[in-house]
Amino acid sequence: MADPVAAVAALDEPTRRRLYDFVVRQTSPISKDEAAQAVELARTTAAFHLDKLVEMGLLTVVHQRRTGRSGPGAGRPAKLYRRSEEQIEVSLPDRRYEAASHLLTDALVEAESTGEPAREILHRRAYKWGADLAAQASGGVAEALADFGFEPREDGGSILLGNCPFHSLAHRHTQLVCGMNLCLVSGLLDGIAPTTHTPRLAPSPSHCCVRLDRVPGPHAGSPRAVNPHAGTPRVETIGPGG
């Protein structure tokens, strides 16, 4: 998938934006000739911008015979353009509301079918989500946290998280979302560096509610015990950065 910031920036070019708007308004895929005629461009210019929109993940290409015929003599399929099925979102700072909504919904559905408390399911699923992120990570803890949008910052050996990907949800439902967040970070940490840091809830006005404390001296080489099914820790307040 293309860089979402670059994809959105591609639409800042007026010609490209007019082509994109024309293609996505149609009910069927469009040829470069049709697009060029609609926005009054040279065929080669339209083709260049359309292919750039494909490269950015905003459009996709399909090949179809528009005559409806098939077999020998039917001619080559035409190259047509349509809206990509990829969803491109840009948020600064990074937010993960859609992912959180899926996690919360899945926990609720499972709770309804099994009778298990929804919050316990949410914690278990959040921990597994973090473990899956760890399995996909190519670097250390700080790199994995940065890739997810936490904006990690060193603080005397500990790691502060400068951004909460679930910011507005954490403000509205502090205990629920911060507990989910803690389990997610625990799963990620256990999958990458279970002996170096331990996560805890430490909300502040300028940081995410989770802080990763450095494990001191002789305990640094021993795996710590993590219980992803524990009840959500009580959080009294959370600031604007939470």
pLDDT digits (tens, 9 = 90+) for 11-35: 889 999 999 999 999 989 999 999 9
What is the mean pLDDT of the segment spanning 156-167? 92
CATH of domain 4-83: 1.10.10.10
Q: Is residue 231 over pLDDT 50?
A: no
E-assigned strand segments in 105-205: 152-155, 158-161, 197-201
Percent of the chain with pLDDT over 70: 84
What is the mean pLDDT of the segment spanning 70-97? 78
- As a whole number of Å, the end-to-end CA separation of the chain is 29
Q: Is residue 95 over pLDDT 80?
A: yes
pLDDT of 190-230, one tens digit each? 999 888 899 999 988 778 999 999 988 655 544 444 444 44
Confidence of residue 93 (pLDDT cuts 50, 70, 90): confident
Task: Give CATH 3.30.1380 domain extents, the chain.
Answer: 97-219
Confidence of residue 71 (pLDDT cuts 50, 70, 90): low
Task: Give CATH 1.10.10.10 domain extents, the chain.
Answer: 4-83
Which pTM was predicted?
Answer: 0.70
**CATH 3.30.1380: does it fit domain 97-219?**
yes
**78 exposure class (CB count in 10 Å sphere: 0-12, 13-18, 19+):** middle
Q: How many helices (H) and strands (E) does the chain have?
A: 9, 7
Q: What per-residue confidence (pLDDT) applies to 232?
A: 38
